[in-house]
Structure formats: C-alpha cells, structure tokens
Amino acid sequence: MPRITYEGTAYECGAGETVLDCLTAWGIDIPSSCRSGVCQSCLMRAPGGGVPQAAQAGLKPTLVAQGYFKACSCTPTEDLSVALPDAAGLRLAAEVVSIEPLNPDIVAVRLRPARPLDYRAGQFIRLFRDAQQSRCYSLASVPQLEDVLEIHVRQVPGGQVSSWVHQELRAGDSVQIADSAGQCFYVPGQPEQPLLLLGTGSGLAPLYGIVRDALHQGHRGPVWLYHGSPTPAGFYRAAELRALTQTHPNFRYVPCLSEGDTPAGLRRGTVLEAALADQTDFTSWRVFLCGHPDMVSQGKLQIFLAGAASAEIHADPFLPSVSPAAAPA
C-alpha cells in the first residue's frame, strides 16, 4: 500500500483510498467541502511529484506546474509526500464593498480584490472565514460590466460560513478569497446557437452572469433562462432580468414556482418541467444547469435524452458542505 507523508509522518493509504480520505481517517483536519473534485477546497501540494493526472484535472497550468492537486480526487499508486498549499500563493485579500439582501434567504456580497481577478462570469471563487472554514460561491458579476466581484450567499441552516456572512460580515471588512475556477461559463464563437439555462435558488447567480455576458458579447440565438423557487419570495433579480427581455428580444426569462398557488407572472412547475414543455428537441443547444444537485442530475439526463450533446451540457451542482469525516453529499 502507498504511504502518504504529511508533516514528517507517514500514513498508510488503503487500496482505492484518496489522500483526503486517508488523512482524515487518521484524524488530520484537511480543509474540504464538496469532496467531488469541483470546488477545489482540498487543494494540496506534492513538491516531489508523483500525483496521478486525474487529481489535477481542471486546475490552472500554473498550479499543476507547482505540484498542486485535489486531495479528494487523488488516489495514489505510489508513496507521496504532501503539504497544505501556501496560503500566500493561493489566497487574495478583498474588501467587502456592500452586502445587499436579495430575498429572505440570499444576500449579494460585492468584493473588491486587492488585485484584478482574471475570471469568467459563472465561475466560482472560494471565500474564507478562517484557515479551516471556506465555501465556494459562483460569480454573478461580469468582468466587462463591473469592477467588483458579486457572489450570492444563501443562508444555510447550521452553515458556518453562510451564517458568518449573513450575521457578522459588514461592508468595509477585509476577507480572503481564492482564485476563480470552474468550467460553467459562456464561450463565444457560435452566436446563433440556442442557449438554455436552468437554475434553482442561488443557482441563479452564475446564470445571471452568464446571460449578461452572452448578451454583452452579442449572442444572437435564443436564450432561455428558467429560475425555480418553491415560494414567490424566493425570486430575485427579476426586475433586472425582465428589463433584459425588453432590450434583447432573443432573451426569455421564466420564473417557475414549484409549490402552492401561482400568482400572475409566474410559471407553475419546476424549471425542468417548464423547459421540456416549451421545447421538445434540444439538439444543437448549449445548456447550463446550476443549483440543487437533484435538479442538476435530472436535468443532465432529461436534456440529454431530448437531444443535447453531453459536451454541450455544463453543470454546476450546489453541493452541501460536509465535515471532513462525513460521506460525500
């Protein structure tokens, strides 16, 4: 069995066990969140090399060159010496510019980083509460339209980072963030291609950025955005999105109410039900799915069965945080 050396001590790693599972099983507290290779909260370094290629998939070349890898995706086949990342190399100071309530559960946090951040609308950044606690939040801002970063933070019952944001964080505070990551963003080059965007709750955040980015870059094909909520109070940025439908005739905004009576202006049903009712064939469409993991999972399957190519389906499930010893969500 391979041995994982961390801070001078070697630990046996079981067959098929990841570096994260190995170290946490030995009682070592390694920062982590999604445990599925998406959020990059568990980044570590292997200064001596030997990292399986799969553990570095999706990382920026500059990080790969320095030996960084995702501990939750790293199943070693040989002995490996690892370390936590250099905080100074990965983290960036940012000032809280404002905190705006968007609905009873979600606030928009605007951040001004100490240096310009190279990102694409729809990607995510990691917000640190302290050395061990952090969460990833998608970017609703568009770099060509705003000079600050905007994230939407939903209050999660018992969520340590979201509770800190909602109850303690204030404009003027200094925080630390990690560089942008993620593959859920608009890529120009096919301006006539239809776009489908499905989001629930704060899953609107990346879609709000992607839609405005696509329209700003002159996308001419149909753009359909479906946002879902169980209550009317859950909808936000509705006025801004409806304004976009007035200035861009190719854009459609469809708020979907999944429970209770349906007031005027709202669509009854889930976002997936509404989208499949409006369109039966998604061949040649580009698709973005963000929000509740069940919706994302079902959406990927149903939209694929309706004709969309798997390479054209971009998904960003909002996975719940887990403790280091907990099973993946």
The predicted structure's pLDDT at residue 329: 25
pLDDT, one tens digit per residue, over 92-107 is 999 999 999 999 999 9
The CATH number corresponding to 195-317 among 3.40.50.2000, 3.40.220.10, 3.40.50.80, 1.10.357.10 equals: 3.40.50.80
Give DSSP secondary structure letters for 178-224. EEEE-S-S---S-TTS-EEEEEEGGGHHHHHHHHHHHHHTT--S-EE
pLDDT bucket at 328, cuts 50 / 70 / 90: very low
- If phi > 0 it is left, if psi is from -120 to 50 it is alpha, else beta; for residue 93 that is beta
For the chain, percent of residues with pLDDT exceeding 90: 75
Q: Is the dihedral of CA 90, 96, 101, 102 positive or negative?
A: negative
Query: What is the pLDDT at residue 292?
Result: 93
Residue 153 reports pLDDT greater than 70: yes
> Does the pLDDT of residue 240 top 50, yes or no?
yes
Instruction: Give the CA diameter of the chain.
Output: 64
CA–chain centroid gap for 86, Å, is 23
Chain-centroid distance of CA 183 in Å reads 9
Decide if pLDDT at 87 tops 60: no
pTM: 0.80
Residue 89: what pLDDT?
61
Could you report the per-residue pLDDT of 7-39, keeping only the tens digit for each? 999 999 998 999 999 999 999 988 887 888 888
Cα dihedral across residues 239, 109, 38, 28: positive or negative: negative
CATH superfamily placement of domain 91-181: Translation factors (2.40.30.10)
pLDDT for residue 144: 96
Query: Under CATH, what is the fold of the domain 3-85?
Result: Ubiquitin-like (UB roll) (3.10.20)
φ/ψ (deg, to 5) at 306: -90, 10
Which residue pairs, CB below 8 angstroms and at least 24 apart, start in 58-65?
58/181, 58/183, 59/181, 60/179, 60/181
Higher pLDDT, 190 or 324: 190
Q: Where are the chain's structural domains?
A: 3-85, 91-181, 195-317
Helix (H) or strand (E) holding 167: helix 160-167
Do residues 280 and 202 make contact, with C-beta atoms less than 8 angstroms apart?
A: no
